[in-house]
Structure 1
Amino acid sequence: MNTIPSVHLADFLSDDPIKKQKFIKEIGNAYENIGFVALKGHFLDDKLVEDLYQEVKNFFDLPLEIKEKYEIPGIGGQRGYVSFGKEAAKGKKEGDLKEFWHFGQYVEDNPALEAEYPANVIVEELPKFNEIGKEAYKMLEKTAKYVLRALALHLGLEETYFDNYIKNGNSILRPIHYPPIQDEPKGAERAAAHGDINLITLLMGAQGKGLQVQNHNGDWIDAMAEPDELMINVGDMLSRHSNNKLKSTIHRVINPPRELWGTSRYSIPFFMHPISDMKLNVLENCIDENNPKQFEDITAGEFLDERLRDLGLKK
């Protein structure tokens, strides 16, 4: 497969069982064959997207000493600001050429989970930043819920199988700024080749060239979305849970050609995580004589902790 398939969420949400089944089949095939899909019909309206990008640019334009005030020690970068070059892909010593921010879950009716997650960080200088971030978080979470419902049906599970695991889940909205490149990067990339940790990732900002996906033949292909599409990929948690039936695809953000080094790039992924005590044990109906169990039993929380250490975000 050398192109990213495009699907429309309205088909899944329609009352027409044929359209719904078509969506399930298309998204299921995409995730079995390449691990990425472009999705139209999500719940982010144009105004919200425009406002979010403006607030994100406003934040990254702040002086470094102000941004660093929001870098919180001891929480593995899970909330607030993470400064340039701090995160490196698993197995890579060079830090990625990016700085980013994390919005986390807005827990409802669950004091235990509220105590488990770090609090969201409020940016005093930008009164609308947190409000717009929260609204975008909610709409992306809502979109992700329906994508996971389609994938549950594709895997032969009950449609709402994932619902209770993702309600108040440890999901993250990460606005990223790839600043202009000043010097020869010496092996560093805007985002080195990696797989995502979580269940699924919903990415805003894949309109320009840069994001590349590795297909099953090992070829790198450009993943470019239309302005009204989100790029959505499977993460390692869902790959483990489905015994690699659904593929967590290696992807990267390459550096632009030298003549474009002076430009910034912004992208905003939403990492859909479940609650930490969800068991990621391989689903029984994804095991057969041709596909023996490939992964050890582990919880989402244990797996996340392991991977944050791999990334250098946790000691």
Structure 2
Amino acid sequence: MLDTPSAQVPTLSLADQARDPQGFAAAFGASFQRFGFAIVADHGIPQELIDRAWAETAELFRLPEEEKRQYHVPGGGGARGYTPFKTEIAKGASAVDLKEFWHIGRELPAGHRLADRMAPNIWPSRPEGFRDTFLELFTAFDRAGDRLLSAIALHLGLEANWFDRAVTDGNSVLRLLHYPPIPADAEGVRAGAHEDINLITLLLGADEAGLELLDRDTGQWLAIKPPEGAMVVNVGDMLQRLTNHVLPSTTHRVVNPPPERRGHSRYSMLFFLHPAPDFVIETLPGTITADTPNRYPAPITAHDYLHERLVEIGLVK
């Protein structure tokens, strides 16, 4: 079995937010500042919806390879639809990740101002009900993310609704992720050491172990083992940049399983919460001090920042 020690990331209840917004924000922010990660229970996403999504995710990835590849868009940066096994590579890595995934984005009405920068969704003909299930799940993740961003704003001394202007029509992505069984001599790992691009990532699932964070204090890899049903949340590079590293984006990875589990698939569902493409990422004034000068004096739009990073990880050539 994997013998990596566990990270002592606290499990917080999002149900406490309504009773004590400032108290929840302080605990959530403290976990982010220490680990770059938090574990959140009682997140409000219905278990029935989660169970339905798991079943349809497994069914999707069981489709024949040639059928799945019909939903791959060459040159599309993996923005929507299917991305085949061994496509994405962690920044600076020498071997590609051992995974395949499917992306679902926000549905925009015809003629929307952001339609040229946010690709339309691609829907498979099967499994039946896939579109309805994952549009419902996207909305549920979106709502949970809004609540967590409100806590982050309070922790930073901002108005609780500060992030609303950033994420209205945000370019968020729901990723369905499959790590297939792997041979004992597989080159590379399921997901190489990396940081996420977005504001925050919300993660459900993974019935197989493997997620680890790199502890900045000790340089040690630590396993993340949330209680059943809880959500793992981590800081992305956009939030790190916005907060001048007050909230750090922590390196993490998914390691290969021990030999006795290598014949098993691993599934997870992630929600990469992004701002709108035209949102300008500019260091928050309250995070700039004499001791911590502005690391990023040149602002950048979320769209341009995302493009730079997609090139680095091989999804855009």
What are the within-5 Å matches in structure 2 for residues 228-267 of structure 1? 228-267=229-268
Partner of 1:123: 124
Equivalent AA in structure 2 for residue 214 of structure 1:
L
Partner of 1:298: 300
Partner of 1:150: 151
Question: Residues 46, 282 of structure 1: CA spacing in aligned structure 2 closer, same or farther, 3 A cutoff?
Answer: same
Matched residue SS, 1:243: coil
If the length of structure 2 is used for normalisation, what is the TM-score? 0.95
Matched residue SS, 1:233: strand
Q: Distance in 1 between matches of 2:226 and 2:233?
A: 10
1:5 is displaced (CA, Å) by 1.2
Matched residue SS, 2:24: helix
Equivalent AA in structure 1 for residue 17 of structure 2:
F
Tell me which moved more, 249-258 or 111-120.
Answer: 111-120
1:294 is displaced (CA, Å) by 1.1
1:180 is displaced (CA, Å) by 0.3
The question of whether the paired residues in 1 share the 8 Å contact of 2:172 and 2:271 is answered with: yes
Partner of 1:8: 13
The question of whether the paired residues in 2 share the 8 Å contact of 1:179 and 1:264 is answered with: yes
Q: Distance in 1 between matches of 2:7 and 2:261?
A: 26
**1:183-227: CA deviation from partner (whole Å, max 9, x where unpaired):** 5123x1000000000000000114542100111121111101112
Equivalent AA in structure 1 for residue 242 of structure 2:
H
Is 1:51 paired with 2:52?
A: yes
1:53 is displaced (CA, Å) by 0.4
The question of whether the paired residues in 1 share the 8 Å contact of 2:213 and 2:250 is answered with: yes
**1:82-130: CA deviation from partner (whole Å, max 9, x where unpaired):** 0000000001131100000000112358711134311100111222111
Q: Distance in 2 between matches of 1:280 and 1:69?
A: 36
Tell me which moved more, 235-244 or 149-158.
Answer: 149-158
Question: Residues 109, 282 of structure 1: CA spacing in aligned structure 2 closer, same or farther, 3 A cutoff?
Answer: farther
The question of whether the paired residues in 2 share the 8 Å contact of 1:208 and 1:224 is answered with: no
The question of whether the paired residues in 2 share the 8 Å contact of 1:5 and 1:30 is answered with: yes
Partner of 2:312: 310
Equivalent AA in structure 1 for residue 189 of structure 2:
E
Q: How many residues align?
A: 310
Equivalent AA in structure 1 for residue 79 of structure 2:
Q
**1:240-264: CA deviation from partner (whole Å, max 9, x where unpaired):** 0000000111100000011211000
What are the within-5 Å matches in structure 2 for residues 46-195 of structure 1? 46-107=47-108, 111-182=112-183, 184-186=185-187, 188-195=188-195
Q: Distance in 2 between matches of 1:102 and 1:183?
A: 29
Q: Distance in 2 between matches of 1:118 and 1:256?
A: 35
The question of whether the paired residues in 2 share the 8 Å contact of 1:210 and 1:254 is answered with: yes
Partner of 2:210: 210
The question of whether the paired residues in 1 share the 8 Å contact of 2:102 and 2:176 is answered with: yes
Q: Distance in 2 between matches of 1:176 and 1:166?
A: 24
Q: Distance in 2 between matches of 1:197 and 1:72?
A: 21
Unmatched tracts of structure 1, length 5 or more: none
Equivalent AA in structure 2 for residue 314 of structure 1:
V
What are the within-5 Å matches in structure 2 for residues 261-300 of structure 1? 261-295=262-296, 296-300=298-302
Unmatched tracts of structure 2, length 5 or more: 1-5
Matched residue SS, 2:300: coil
Matched residue SS, 1:116: coil
The question of whether the paired residues in 1 share the 8 Å contact of 2:114 and 2:277 is answered with: no
Question: Residues 33, 108 of structure 1: CA spacing in aligned structure 2 closer, same or farther, 3 A cutoff?
Answer: farther
If the length of structure 1 is used for normalisation, what is the TM-score? 0.95
**1:240-299: CA deviation from partner (whole Å, max 9, x where unpaired):** 000000011110000001121100000111000000111111111100011111124211
Q: Distance in 2 between matches of 1:313 and 1:78?
A: 9
Matched residue SS, 1:51: helix
